[in-house]
Amino acid sequence: MTTPLITRLDGPAPERQLSRDIVRRGLIVAPLLVAVCTAIWGWDGAIGALYGLALVLLNFVFAAALITMTARISVGLMMAAVLFGYLIRLALIFAAIYVVRDAEWISLVALGLTIIVTHLGLLFWELRYVSATLAFPGLKPTPASTN
């Protein structure tokens, strides 16, 4: 008899596919984001935007990797990894900002706004492409891939 918390997930990993898609979209908007921050805050804003964008994209990749690796071991471990992984990733973002807080070569306003806007913007953008069905977990299939 297996218990639900010991059960492991052996199927496809839609979180990895979603993470790759979010990173791809983040790289698409990166030039626009950097240009806007450069226009407002100068080179310090550009560096802040690039640093913030890197933090956001790495955060999505680490979250997906954590889920993918732990789901193959057990669902209980995956739940713990998601909960504590969020706290750890939040602490890592805090530490990354804390390290540059007094640096003269970065705009903290641009960095903070980039982190907030990019996280929310990419998540809302990705909502249009996520399939919420068990038949196609992950991204919605394109018309060519459903045949």
Say if 116 falls within a structural domain.
yes
Say if 75 falls within a structural domain.
yes
What pLDDT band is residue 145 in, cutting at 50, 70 and 90?
low
| pLDDT value for 33 | 95
Q: How far apart are CA 47 and CA 83, in angstroms?
A: 31
Q: H helices then E strands: how many in the chain?
A: 4, 2
Q: Which residue has the tokens 């996280």?
A: 119
Say if 49 falls within a structural domain.
yes
Q: How far apart are CA 5 and CA 71, in angstroms?
A: 10
Q: Domain count for the chain, please give it.
A: 1
Say if 78 falls within a structural domain.
yes
Say if 145 falls within a structural domain.
no
More confident site: 73 or 132: 73
Say if 34 falls within a structural domain.
yes
For the whole model, what pTM was predicted?
A: 0.82
Say if 29 falls within a structural domain.
yes
> What's the length of the chain?
147
What pLDDT band is residue 135 in, cutting at 50, 70 and 90?
low
Say if 2 falls within a structural domain.
no
**Each residue's pLDDT tens digit, 34-74:** 999 999 999 999 999 999 999 999 999 999 999 988 888 88
Find the domain containing 99 and state its range: 14-128
| pLDDT value for 18 | 87
Q: How far apart are CA 93 and CA 56, in angstroms?
A: 9
Question: Does 136 score more than 80 pLDDT?
Answer: no
